[in-house]
Amino acid sequence: MSREKLTKIILPEERMPRFWYNVQADMPTPLSPALHPETKQPLGPEDLAPLFPMGLIAQEVSTERFLEIPPEVRELYKLWRPSPLYRAHGLEKALDTQCRIYYKYEGVSPVGSHKLNSALPQVYYNKMEGITRLTTETGAGQWGTALALACKLFGLECMVYMVRVSFDQKPYRRMIMNVYGANCVSSPSTLTESGRQALAKDPDTPGTLAIAISEAVEDAMQRADTHYSLGSVLNHVCVHQSIIGQEVKLQMEMVDDYPDIVIGCCGGGSNFAGIAFPFIPDKLAGKKVRLVGVEPSACPTMTRGVFAYDFGDVAGFTPMLKMCTLGHDFTPAGIHAGGLRYHGESPLVSQLYQDGLIEATSVMQKGVFEAAMLFSRAEGIVPAPESSHAIRVAIDEALKAKEEGIIKSIVLNLSGHGQMDLTAYDNYLSGQMEDYAPTDEEIQASLKTLPTL
Amino acid sequence: MSREKLTKIILPEERMPRFWYNVQADMPTPLSPALHPETKQPLGPEDLAPLFPMGLIAQEVSTERFLEIPPEVRELYKLWRPSPLYRAHGLEKALDTQCRIYYKYEGVSPVGSHKLNSALPQVYYNKMEGITRLTTETGAGQWGTALALACKLFGLECMVYMVRVSFDQKPYRRMIMNVYGANCVSSPSTLTESGRQALAKDPDTPGTLAIAISEAVEDAMQRADTHYSLGSVLNHVCVHQSIIGQEVKLQMEMVDDYPDIVIGCCGGGSNFAGIAFPFIPDKLAGKKVRLVGVEPSACPTMTRGVFAYDFGDVAGFTPMLKMCTLGHDFTPAGIHAGGLRYHGESPLVSQLYQDGLIEATSVMQKGVFEAAMLFSRAEGIVPAPESSHAIRVAIDEALKAKEEGIIKSIVLNLSGHGQMDLTAYDNYLSGQMEDYAPTDEEIQASLKTLPTL
C-alpha cells in the first residue's frame, strides 16, 4: 500500500496482538522495588493481595518480555480493536508541512478512550479470583467510565470516586458511568475517613487524584468481596496499554514507514507507555526514534519534579514507589485535562526517563486548546484535552522541522475524543481559559511531604 | 471468513463505493412532482435554484440508478468510511437468541452520526457554485454538527437554527458546532420573521423542525451568497445516505450472510433510506428481505398520518411534497429523540411505503430507552436516542423469532452514538421519563392545516 494515499491504516482483526509487551524485560536499569508504606521494606506479592488479584500482581513484577492476553479479554478487545492509525492529511495541509503526521485513534473504543485496554483485563483477573466489587478513582472520568463498562461486561459491581473539579465540570461523565451501572461520587466524599479528612482540611478543595485514590483504597480495604483498581501508574497497566504501540508498529509497516518521533501525553503515564514502550527494543538496538512524553505545565512531574520514593495517594495508604513526583500533597490547578492532574508518574516511565531513553516536555493549557481547535477543524475529531497535549507537541515538531527544512515521520497517541469535554472548549472559545504553572516555592513546599526512608 | 467469529466486519478503504444508489431508478410508482408553494404547479429546477445548487437539484430529480461520488467527497468520506458492520455478540447473548444481529455503526464518523454522509456532498456542490454561506435547521443537533464540520472543511460559513427543546436539553451540541466554527441559535429565534411569528403565537413553544426550517429558509432567501441545506427528507439526501446500505451489502457478503430484516429509525427518513434502499432492487427481484422503518409514537408520521401534499415547514416557504404527514402545524411532544420530531416523511420513503415495499412501526420512548440501556451494557456503545428506536424493534424481532422457534438475520442502522445525549439517559434512569402519543383529535386538528390544491 502507498503511504501517501491511505487515510486510515487498518490492521485486520486476526492480526491483533496476542501478547502484551512488558518493558521490564528490556530495561537497562531494573525498577527499584516498591516499599511497604509502614515497614518501608520491599513489598512481597502477599502485601498487595488485599487490593489486587494474583493475576495482576504477577504481571506487576514479571520480567517476561511477552505476556499472553487471555482469550476472554481478546474477544472483548474486538469491540473496537485493532484501532485505526490515521494519516493526518488535513492537519498536514493546515500546517503546510512535508512531515508525515499519524495519529493512533483510541477514541473508537465504546467509552471513547484507551482506558478500556486495561479495565477489561483488570476486571477479568479479579473475576477469576471471585471478587465481585471494584473501587477506583477517576480524574477526567475516562478511567471510571472504562472500569464501569468492564465491570458491567463481566458482571461486577463498580464504585468510582471522581475528583470533584471534574465531577462538576463534566456531568456527562457521571451519567455515562450510571448508564453502565456504576456508582459514582464526588471526591473528597463523606463516605470515607480520607475523604472526611480532606474536606476538614479544605472544604473547597477541587480534589486530587491522590485524595480519590485514598478513598478508593480505604473502601476496598474494608470489604472482603472488594478489590481496588488503578487506571494508570502501575506496571501492569503499562503492560496492558502496550497493545497500542504494538499495533502502531504493525500499521507503520503496512505503509512502509517508521516514526522519527512518538508522542503521548503523560499523567500517570500509561497512555504514553502504551504507545512508546514497544519502540524501546528498537531504540536499544540502535534505531533513532525519539519517545516524547508531554505533561501539563500545571503538573510537571518529570520536567520539574524529583525522582524519589513517594506515596501514590495523599493519605499514605499505598506502597511507596520510586518515581518522578511533585510530592503526594501537591494540588495541581484545576485544568481541564483532569486525567493529567497526578503528582507522580509511572515508575517504568520515570526510570526510563532517568536512563535517557525517553524525553519529557510540558505545555500550557491555552496552547493545548489552540492545537486542539486546529486539529478539530482539520481532522474533524474533537480530541480529549489530555490527548491534545500530544497534538500540541506534534504540531510544534512539524513546524520546527519545516523551519529546519527537514521531513519527519511523527506519530502521536490520540488517546480519546473530547465529545464529553465540550465545556472545556466552551471555556476556551469564550476567552475565559487561563494558563497555570506552579511556582518553584509551591513545588518545594510540596516536596517537603516526601516520606523519609 | 466465518460468520460466527468476527466481531467487526471491515470493508477495506479501497472497496468503499464509488457511486451513490438512487432508488428513483427502480420505483414501481414514480414520485409525484413537488409543487410550487404559491402557484401549486409542478416545480422546475429553476424554482429550487435560490435555495440549492444545480448539482443537488440534478440529483433531486435524477432517475439514473448510480450517481458518481465526487473524488473530493470520497477523500473526506475516508475520515471514517467504510464504517464497520458489527456482529452484536453481546446483545445476542443477553437476549439468549439464535438470531444473528448486526449493527452498521455510523457513530464512528467524527461528528458521531451518519449525517456527515450528506453534509459533505451538500457543502461540496454549494462551494462549486460559489456559495460562501449555508443555513440549516437541526433537531437533536446531529445534522447541525455535521453541516458545521463540512462547512469548516470546505471553508464556508454555517448558520444553524436549533429546535429549542434540544438546544436546552443538549448544550454540548451547541458547543461542538462552535468548535467547528458555526453559529448556532435557539429556534424559534428573533432573527427571522418566521421565528418572531412562532414566538408571538406561543412564547413557550418547544420549537419544531418545521419552524426551524422556515427560519433557515427565510435567512437563505435574503442573501445572494447563502443557500439552504436540509439534513433529511429530500431525495438527494437519501441518495447520499445510500452509501450505508451499499456497504452493508458488501459486508454481509464478506460473512456469507443476507438479512431477513433491515431496520432503521425514521424521522425525515434519510437514515432509514440509507440502509434500506439498496435492498429494494433485491426485493423487486424476489428476495424476501423486510425493510422496517421505526417512528416514535410521539410523531407517528407513516403509522398514523396521511399520504398527501404538505409543506416541509411551518410557514409554507418550502415546496409542497407528496408524503406521509401529520400536518406541518403538528407539534410533537418534546421527546429526547429530537431528530425524529418531524411532521413529514421523505417522499421516497412515503411512496415506497404506499407501494408495500417497506413497513413502518412506532414505539414509545421508555421502551426505546430500555432497549438502549440493554444495548449499552451488552455492546458498550451508548446509542443515540434516535438510533435506539431501531434497536428496540431489532430486539423485539429477535424475541419474537425465539418464541416462534426460528432463526433470523437482523441488520439495524446504529446511526449515531449518544455520548452527547446523556441527559436523556439521566432522565430515564431517574425515573422521570414519560411516554407520549398524540390523541386522534390532535392529529385530526393538525391535518386540517394541510394545504388545498
The string of pLDDT tens digits covering residues B234-261 is 999 999 999 999 999 999 999 999 999 9
Q: Which positions ≥6 away from A356 have C-beta within 8 Å?
A: none
DSSP structure class, residue A293: E
End residue of a domain, out of A184, A210, A235: A235
The sign one gets for the Cα dihedral A108, A111, A116, A121 is negative
Q: Name every residue in B having a CB less than 8 A away from some CB of A.
A: 6-8, 10, 12-13, 75, 78-80, 89-90, 108-112, 116, 149, 152-153, 172, 175-176, 178-181, 373, 376-377, 379-382, 419-420, 422-423, 425-426, 429
Integer Cα distance of A66 and A78 in angstroms:
20
Residues of chain B with pLDDT > 70, as a percent, come to 99
For residue A309, list its beta bridge partners: A322
Q: Helices A54-61 and A235-254 meet at what angle, rounded to 10?
A: 70
Under 8 Å between Cβ of B252 and B102: yes
Integer Cα distance of A363 and A296 in angstroms:
5
Integer Cα distance of B24 and A3 in angstroms:
39
CA distances in angstroms from B34 to A380, B31, B39, B47, B322, listed in the order given: 35, 9, 12, 10, 7
Strand duo A290-296 + A261-265: pairing: parallel
The answer to whether the Cβ–Cβ distance between B111 and A380 falls below 8 Å is yes
Cell output for B412: 439495524
Integer Cα distance of B179 and B168 in angstroms:
18
Q: Are residues B196 and B317 in the same domain?
A: no
A·B CB contacts under 8 A: 118
Q: Are residues B175 and B292 in the same domain?
A: no
Is residue A453 a part of any domain in this protein? no
Q: Helices B365-379 and A171-179 meet at what angle, rounded to 10?
A: 80
Of the candidates B361, B365, B357, the residue with the CA atom closest to the CA atom of residue B302: B361
Neighboring chain A residues of B419 at a CB cutoff of 8 Å: 112, 172, 176, 419-420
Cell output for A270: 500509561
pLDDT class of B100 with cuts at 50, 70, 90: very high
Under 8 Å between Cβ of A431 and A343: no
Cell output for B272: 432509514
The sign one gets for the Cα dihedral B185, B188, B189, B192 is positive
Q: Are residues B241 and B379 in the same domain?
A: yes
Is residue B419 a part of any domain in this protein? yes
Q: Helices A142-154 and A116-128 meet at what angle, rounded to 10?
A: 40
Is residue A1 a part of any domain in this protein? no
pLDDT class of B4 with cuts at 50, 70, 90: low
**Tens-place pLDDT, residues B176-224:** 999 999 999 999 999 999 999 999 999 999 999 889 999 999 999 999 9
Interface test with B, best of A2, A73, A375, A419 (most B CBs within 10 A): A419
The residue segments making up the domain with residue B133 are 20-26+35-69+115-235
Integer Cα distance of B334 and B205 in angstroms:
10
**Tens-place pLDDT, residues A261-273:** 999 999 999 999 9
Neighboring chain B residues of A170 at a CB cutoff of 8 Å: none
Mapping DSSP to helix (H, G, I), strand (E, B) and coil, where does residue A256 land?
Answer: coil
The answer to whether the Cβ–Cβ distance between A429 and B377 falls below 8 Å is no
Q: What is the nearest CA distance from B254 to chain A, expressed in angstroms?
A: 13
Torsion of CA A319, A324, A326, A329, to 10 degrees: -10
Q: Are residues B175 and B250 in the same domain?
A: no
Of the candidates B20, B108, B94, B102, the residue with the CA atom closest to the CA atom of residue B64: B20
Strand duo A359-363 + A290-296: pairing: parallel
Under 8 Å between Cβ of B276 and B358: yes
Q: What are phi and psi of B62, to 5 degrees?
A: -65, 145
Is residue B86 a part of any domain in this protein? yes
Is residue A425 a part of any domain in this protein? yes
Residues of chain A with pLDDT > 90, as a percent, come to 92
Q: What is the nearest CA distance from B79 to chain A, expressed in angstroms?
A: 7
Mapping DSSP to helix (H, G, I), strand (E, B) and coil, where does residue A129 land?
Answer: coil
Integer Cα distance of A91 and A88 in angstroms:
5
Q: What is the nearest CA distance from A308 to chain B, expressed in angstroms?
A: 40
Q: Are residues B128 and B198 in the same domain?
A: yes
The answer to whether the Cβ–Cβ distance between A180 and B376 falls below 8 Å is yes
pLDDT of amino acid B338: 87
Least CB–CB distance from A179: residue in B7, B12, B425:
B425
* pLDDT surpasses 50 at B2: no
Of the candidates A3, A101, A84, A105, the residue with the CA atom closest to the CA atom of residue A395: A101
> For residues B8-28, b (16+ Cβ closer than 10 Å) or e, as one string?
bbbbebeebbeebbbbbebbe
DSSP structure class, residue B241: H
Give me the mean pLDDT over the A84-108 stretch.
97
End residue of a domain, out of A175, A210, A235: A235
Q: How far is CA A94 from the centre of its chain?
A: 28
The residue type of A108 is: V
Q: How far is CA A62 from the centre of its chain?
A: 21
Of the candidates B188, B186, B219, B215, the residue with the CA atom closest to the CA atom of residue B203: B188
The answer to whether the Cβ–Cβ distance between A175 and B111 falls below 8 Å is no
pLDDT class of B1 with cuts at 50, 70, 90: very low
B417: left (phi over 0), alpha (psi -120 to 50) or beta: beta
Give me the mean pLDDT over the B12-40 stretch.
96
Least CB–CB distance from B13: residue in A6, A108, A373:
A6
Of the candidates B64, B99, B59, B77, the residue with the CA atom closest to the CA atom of residue B18: B77
Sheet holding A8-9, edge to edge: A8-9, A85-87, A100-105, A409-414, A261-265, A290-296, A359-363
B300: left (phi over 0), alpha (psi -120 to 50) or beta: beta
Range name among A81-95, A103-117, A379-393, B159-173 with the lowest pLDDT average: B159-173
Is residue A231 a part of any domain in this protein? yes
**Tens-place pLDDT, residues B304-359:** 999 999 999 988 889 999 999 999 999 999 899 988 999 999 999 999 999 999 99
Q: Are residues B78 and B181 in the same domain?
A: no
Integer Cα distance of A55 and A391 in angstroms:
35
The residue type of B126 is: N
* pLDDT surpasses 70 at A122: yes
Q: What are phi and psi of B203, to 5 degrees?
A: -60, -25
Give me the mean pLDDT over the B363-376 stretch.
98
pLDDT of amino acid B253: 97
First to last CA, chain B: 56
Give me the mean pLDDT over the B397-413 stretch.
98
Minimum CA–CA partner of A84 in chain B = B80
Mapping DSSP to helix (H, G, I), strand (E, B) and coil, where does residue B103 land?
Answer: strand
Sheet holding B100-105, edge to edge: B8-9, B85-87, B100-105, B409-414, B261-265, B290-296, B359-363
Integer Cα distance of A50 and A440 in angstroms:
38
Cell output for A151: 465491570
Alpha helices in A202-277 (DSSP H): 209-221, 235-254, 270-276
Q: Are residues B146 and B185 in the same domain?
A: yes
Interface test with B, best of A147, A153, A175 (most B CBs within 10 A): A175
Q: What is the nearest CA distance from B104 to chain A, expressed in angstroms?
A: 13
- Side-chain-facing half-sphere of B210: CA atoms under 13 Å: 25
**Tens-place pLDDT, residues B78-94:** 999 999 999 999 999 99
Integer Cα distance of A445 and A326 in angstroms:
10
Q: Are residues B272 and B246 in the same domain?
A: yes
The residue type of A321 is: L
Is residue B1 a part of any domain in this protein? no
pLDDT of amino acid A4: 53
Minimum CA–CA partner of A120 in chain B = B380
The answer to whether the Cβ–Cβ distance between B178 and A426 falls below 8 Å is yes
Helix (H) or strand (E) holding A170: none
Q: Which positions ≥6 away from A428 have C-beta within 8 Å?
A: A366, A369, A373
Neighboring chain B residues of A16 at a CB cutoff of 8 Å: none
Q: What is the CATH number of the domain that holds A61?
A: 3.40.50.1100
Strand duo A226-228 + A133-138: pairing: parallel
Q: What is the nearest CA distance from B120 to chain A, expressed in angstroms?
A: 12
The answer to whether the Cβ–Cβ distance between B178 and A425 falls below 8 Å is yes
Of the candidates A54, A65, A61, the residue with the CA atom closest to the CA atom of residue A25: A65
The answer to whether the Cβ–Cβ distance between A377 and B425 falls below 8 Å is no
Neighboring chain B residues of A426 at a CB cutoff of 8 Å: 175, 178
Question: What average pLDDT does chain B have?
Answer: 96
pLDDT of amino acid B78: 95
Neighboring chain A residues of B177 at a CB cutoff of 8 Å: none
Range name among A153-157, A332-336, B148-152, B442-446 with the lowest pLDDT average: A332-336
Q: Are residues B225 and B304 in the same domain?
A: no
Neighboring chain A residues of B152 at a CB cutoff of 8 Å: 377
The sign one gets for the Cα dihedral B381, B387, B392, B398 is negative
Neighboring chain A residues of B182 at a CB cutoff of 8 Å: none
Q: Are residues A122 and A180 in the same domain?
A: yes
* pLDDT surpasses 50 at A1: no
For residue B294, list its beta bridge partners: B265, B361
Is residue B185 a part of any domain in this protein? yes
Under 8 Å between Cβ of A274 and A241: yes
pLDDT of amino acid B314: 87
End residue of a domain, out of B235, B256, B283: B235
Q: What is the nearest CA distance from B376 to chain A, expressed in angstroms?
A: 7
Q: Are residues A262 and A201 in the same domain?
A: no
Q: Are residues B186 and B91 in the same domain?
A: no
The residue type of B47 is: D
Helix (H) or strand (E) holding B161: strand B157-163
The answer to whether the Cβ–Cβ distance between A377 and B420 falls below 8 Å is no
Minimum CA–CA partner of B152 in chain A = A377
Minimum CA–CA partner of B427 in chain A = A175
pLDDT class of A3 with cuts at 50, 70, 90: very low
The ipTM, to two decimals, is 0.94
Cell output for B362: 412506532
> For residues A208-219, b (16+ Cβ closer than 10 Å) or e, as one string?
bbbbbbbbbbbb
Cell output for B191: 432573527
The answer to whether the Cβ–Cβ distance between A176 and B422 falls below 8 Å is yes
Within a 10 A sphere around the Cβ of B75, how many other Cβ atoms?
15
Number of domains present in the structure of chain B: 2
CA distances in angstroms from B53 to B59, B130, B158, B174, B222, listed in the order given: 10, 9, 16, 27, 16
